[in-house]
Amino acid sequence: MEHKISVLISEEEVDAKIRQLGEQISKEYEGEAVHLVCILKGSVFITCELAKRITVPVTMDFMSISSYGDGTKSSGVVKLAKDLDETIEGKNVIVVEDIIDSGRTLSYLLPVLRERKPKSLKLLAFLDKPDRRVKEVPVDYTGFEIPDEFVVGYGLDYAQKYRNLPYVGIVEV
């Protein structure tokens, strides 16, 4: 089944914002290294593009955590499906999340990561949907604040479809 998708954030806007975030992170961590923690699957696109634009040394690891399933609304149940492969102790960690809406996933995850004793722990949200917030989470870097619409593209999916779109679009379901 095909869905009608309208462009919310163009490919050019996405590229410019990732470049800006990379420059900001590079300045803040000048002389140090950063460790990006990519939250699978949606954050793969932003994490890879961001890493290419950071000029300080970068390492990466991956986690899979979710509160969605195949629906368009958060289920409210947080599930950790894949943990980190390496320790984050003593590292400057930036968690890269594709979208924050309810805040449940990250309000669960950030305390878990803090217990692992990173040197610093920051959060980058490619998209922030504050109208849906149920739990507050501290966002250090924000790509775009968006309205309460179901979006796809640039890593975000609807039932595993549309992640490969080079822009962020609104799905009409």
- Write out pLDDT tens, residues 24-57: 999 999 999 999 999 999 999 999 999 999 999 9
- Residue 111 falls within a domain, yes or no? yes
- Measured CA distances, 100 to 13, 116, 171, 172 (Å): 19, 22, 17, 20
- DSSP assignment letter at 125: E
- Residue 123 falls within a domain, yes or no? yes
| Domain of residue 133, CATH code | 3.40.50.2020
- Residue 73 falls within a domain, yes or no? yes
Question: What residues make up the domain containing 138?
Answer: 11-148
103-148 pLDDT, tens digit per residue, is 988 999 999 999 999 999 999 999 999 988 899 999 999 999 999 9
CB 127 within 8 A of CB 99: yes
- Residue 166 falls within a domain, yes or no? no
- DSSP assignment letter at 130: G
Distance (Å, whole) CA 62 – CA 68: 18
Q: Active-site residue numbers?
A: 101
Distance (Å, whole) CA 20 – CA 29: 14
Query: How many residues are there in the chain?
Result: 173
Question: Which alpha helices (H) appear in 54-169, and where do they start and end?
Answer: 104-114
Q: What's the total number of domains in the chain?
A: 1
- Residue 112 falls within a domain, yes or no? yes
- Residue 168 falls within a domain, yes or no? no
- Measured CA distances, 106 to 27, 62, 157, 164, 173 (Å): 25, 15, 19, 24, 26
Select from 45, 123, 18, 37 the least CA-distant residue to 86: 37
- Residue 171 falls within a domain, yes or no? no
